[in-house]
């Protein structure tokens, strides 16, 4: 049973040498590379944004989880990150179900991990000069989908923190419903913001998901190379 679970979660384990540099060292080297213009001749606002995005990852727990898990191997690093991403998806749902919106410490923790995701995705595109390609772009797309859910669920919590809309939510799932409807720009009209903070939340969510779909999903989807049944058939 243990072998089955290990095979399921870790797949084919690598037996090669461990990477020369751990995730924290790679991040620091990446910042130095951007500063020294080793891979891109940028300056001004572009360079400031790239330095900020690259440095921001040192402020969040994700990179340190990767660091500790990488000591056992690259597969454990990926697995630990998978569980961390899933935990960040479940966290706002737990807040909604248990009505923890009035606990300021929990809301600040949610904002903290929310910002990690918001900064991490553009970092992969704009500020990863020295990062190697992921083992699987399909896995990256899957994690990106969970990032999408995490952000939508986090906004659901933000909407339920106060009376920002025309009427209160009657069920915890109503907040998720409104958040997903807002992110998809459908807008049925049953809920809408009536306060400045509510309008700000709706506006930022709409802009964020516009960039999410147009820029980030397009970037990763172009990297995927699929091989299936018909590829094997053509090789015969």
Cβ atoms < 10 Å from Cβ of 1: 5
Contact indicator for 131, 30 with CB cutoff of 8 Å:
yes
What one-character DSSP code corresponds to residue 215?
Answer: I
The pLDDT score that the predictor gives to residue 139 is 78
Q: Is residue 15 part of a domain?
A: no
Kind plus residue range of the DSSP H or E element containing 118 = helix 104-126
The pLDDT score that the predictor gives to residue 99 is 94
193 - beta bridge partners? 165
229 or 90, higher pLDDT = 90
Contact indicator for 93, 105 with CB cutoff of 8 Å:
no
Q: And the tokens for 223? A: 């990297």
pLDDT in tens, 186-231: 778 889 999 999 999 999 998 888 877 766 666 666 555 555 444 5
Residue 162 CA from chain centroid, whole number:
26
The pLDDT score that the predictor gives to residue 73 is 77
- How far is it, in rounded angstroms, from Cα 22 to Cα 17? 13
Q: Is residue 193 part of a domain?
A: yes
Ranked by mean pLDDT, the top range of 100-109, 114-123, 178-187 is 100-109
pLDDT in tens, 35-47: 998 888 888 998 9
Closest CA to 137 of 225, 231, 49: 225
Closest CA to 150 of 42, 66, 62: 62
Q: Is residue 7 part of a domain?
A: no
The pLDDT score that the predictor gives to residue 83 is 94
Q: Is residue 149 part of a domain?
A: yes
Domain housing 27: 21-129+136-223
Q: Is residue 3 part of a domain?
A: no
pLDDT in tens, 41-86: 888 998 999 999 999 999 999 999 999 988 887 778 888 999 999 9
State the pLDDT confidence band at 235, using cuts at 50, 70 and 90.
very low
Question: For 47, left (φ over 0), alpha (ψ -120 to 50), or beta?
Answer: alpha
Q: Is residue 27 part of a domain?
A: yes
Q: Is residue 13 part of a domain?
A: no
Q: And the tokens for 163? A: 């009376």
pLDDT in tens, 148-169: 899 999 999 999 999 999 999 9
- The total number of residues shown for the chain amounts to 236
Cβ atoms < 10 Å from Cβ of 23: 21
Q: Is residue 9 part of a domain?
A: no
Name the domain count of the chain. 1
Whether the per-residue pLDDT at 142 is higher than 60: the answer is yes
Output the average pLDDT for the chain. 83
Q: Read off the pTM.
A: 0.84
Give Cα separations from 171 to 33, 156, 168, 183, 209 (angstroms): 49, 12, 9, 19, 24
CB proximity list for 66: less than 8 A, separation 6 or greater:
23, 77, 80, 81
């Amino acid at each position: 049973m243990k072998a089955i679970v290990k095979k399921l979660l870790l797949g084919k384990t690598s037996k090669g040498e461990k990477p020369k540099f751990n995730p924290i060292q790679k991040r620091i080297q990446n910042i130095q590379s951007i500063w020294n213009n080793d891979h891109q001749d940028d300056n001004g606002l572009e360079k400031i944004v790239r330095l900020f995005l690259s440095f921001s990852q040192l402020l969040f727990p994700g990179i340190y989880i990767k660091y500790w898990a990488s000591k056992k191997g690259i597969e454990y690093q990926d697995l630990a990150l998978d569980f961390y991403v899933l935990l960040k998806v479940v966290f706002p749902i737990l807040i909604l179900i248990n009505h923890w919106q009035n606990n300021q410490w929990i809301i600040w923790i949610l904002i903290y991990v929310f910002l990690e995701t918001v900064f991490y995705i553009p970092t992969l595109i704009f500020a990863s000069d020295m990062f190697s390609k992921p083992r699987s772009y399909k896995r990256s797309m899957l994690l990106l989908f969970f990032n999408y859910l995490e952000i939508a669920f986090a906004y659901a919590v933000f909407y339920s923190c106060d009376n920002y809309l025309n009427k209160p939510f009657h069920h915890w799932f109503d907040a998720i419903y409104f958040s997903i409807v807002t992110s998809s720009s459908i807008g049925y009209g049953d809920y809408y913001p009536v306060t400045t903070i509510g309008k700000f939340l709706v506006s930022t969510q709409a802009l964020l998901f516009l960039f999410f779909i147009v820029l980030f999903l397009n970037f990763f989807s172009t990297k995927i190379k699929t091989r299936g049944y018909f590829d094997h058939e053509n090789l015969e």
